[in-house]
């Protein structure tokens, strides 16, 4: 005789494990769309390139930070300021992946990629003396 086994009900975990599990699930769902993963990667690469070109420009002594809000932080501790910048970029990406859906998420990520790649490109052209 065969007897059906009862289906297990999904019980969400509580506490920090539950929050992290829901966050990971939301990010996976967000990255599943066609253009989201390449746009997310391009955004992160742009942010890392921006941090790198900013560091190189400031280390050369020929340039200073143009952002009046960010300049004092860079002057006091460059490494911490640049890590905070990367952390904030990661949080912006996380918010875009988990809070936006569909075309809106893709459009926002495309704008973020443009802004993210424009800054290091401009920094690089300034370092080369083109701008």
- Whether the pLDDT of residue 5 is over 80: the answer is no
Position 8 scores a pLDDT of 58
Rounded to 5 degrees, φ, ψ at 114 are -60, -50
Output the pTM of the full model.
Answer: 0.81
Instruction: Report the largest interatomic distance among the alpha carbons of the chain, rounded to a whole angstrom.
Output: 84
- Mind spelling out the 3-state secondary structure of the chain? CCCCCCCCCCCCCCHHHHHHHHHHHHHHHHHCCCCHHHHHHHHHHHHHHHHHHHHHHHHHCCCCCCCCCCHHHHHHCHHHHHHHHHHHHHHHHHHHHHHCCHHHHHHHHHHHHHHHHHHHHHHHHHHCCCC
Angle at 90 between CA 115 and CA 33, to 5 degrees: 80
**pLDDT confidence tier of residue 122, bands split at 50, 70 and 90:** very high
List, for residues 82-111, the tens digit of each pLDDT value: 899 999 999 999 999 999 999 999 999 999
- Whether the pLDDT of residue 10 is over 60: the answer is no
Position 88 scores a pLDDT of 94
Position 106 scores a pLDDT of 95
Position 20 scores a pLDDT of 87
Position 2 scores a pLDDT of 60
């Amino acid at each position: 005789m065969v007897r059906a086994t009862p289906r297990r009900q999904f019980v969400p975990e509580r506490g920090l494990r539950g929050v992290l599990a829901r966050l990971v699930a939301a990010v996976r769902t967000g990255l599943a769309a066609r253009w989201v993963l390449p746009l997310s990667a391009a955004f992160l690469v742009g942010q890392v390139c921006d941090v790198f070109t900013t560091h190189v420009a400031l280390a050369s002594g020929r340039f200073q930070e143009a952002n009046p809000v960010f300049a004092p932080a860079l002057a006091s501790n460059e490494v911490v300021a640049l890590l905070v910048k990367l952390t904030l970029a990661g949080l912006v990406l996380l918010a875009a992946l988990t809070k936006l859906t569909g075309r809106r998420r893709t459009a926002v990520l495309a704008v973020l990629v443009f802004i993210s790649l424009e800054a290091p490109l401009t920094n690089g052209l300034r370092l080369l003396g083109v701008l």
